[in-house]
A = this chain, B = another copy of it.
């Protein structure tokens, strides 16, 4: 009787479900809206219903369901408790045990969504073949997850891999959501790169292809930088110098085999990895001890892959 695992990435808008074989092949995936009403109290009920519905529709018995993993958009404490998740309206929830109870006691694991995505990329994405990775997702903000020797670093309070809030440029004039100035989050995110590009444009009269953009995007900045536009290059180099510094610092802390760059900014491809690596190697005097910098491969599916892998690891214990 073939076993299956579910990976569910619970976001503030949609919940993405994925069904996986023990070998890591994805059999199916789909999304449903996240029911945020009543402090998110219907979220796990809906996940349980979706899982039962899929199994019924595809001829799987519940006995074949070997485990479910959940990615949560907020900190998950080491003991599995979500003390507070603003995006879902949750406070003091233990999602793994609640969902397990709704599904007849099967193994359920829960982790922060960036950590789950890190596990996904480690297992079946850009980190495949490495033993230890740090995944950094560069989107509207900067998220991160750490996998060392196959184990996720949740952290004592669920803050493992929150490197987006490390202050890297105290000269930054705008305040980060955390109340500090100059977090990596504000600089190496898509938002941060656009903000800095606009500042460089405003501070100079030099010609730049970026001046023609109606609504400047991160892609515009990278495209212009790749084409040699001096102001775009300046913005990219400035932002990635701080990313390289953060990678250097993390290298001296957890010393992974590889850093995996994902999120919207990573669509800039190898150019992003190359420029970042230049700053990293400049700052980390490690010779052969330096880690690789590689690109993520699973896109928005990283979370469901990683959640499913967490379910497998949990079921195997």
Report which A residues bind B (CB closer than 8 A). Answer: 75, 78, 131-132, 146, 148-149, 151, 153-163, 165-167, 178-180, 245, 248-257, 283, 285-286, 288-289, 291
Contacts and interface: CB of A to CB of B under 8 A. Distances in A.
Given A178-B285, A179-B285, A180-B285, A252 B159 contact: yes
B166 A252 contact: yes
Nearest to A154: B255
Given A131-B78, A166-B252, A167-B245, A159 B257 contact: no
A156 B78 contact: no
A251 to B, nearest CB: 7
A245 B160 CA distance: 17
Contact of A252 (B162, B179, B252, B286): B162
B289 A159 contact: yes
B252 A283 contact: no
Contacts of A178: 285
B291 A163 contact: no
Contacts of A163: 252-253
Given A285-B178, A286-B159, A165 B252 contact: yes
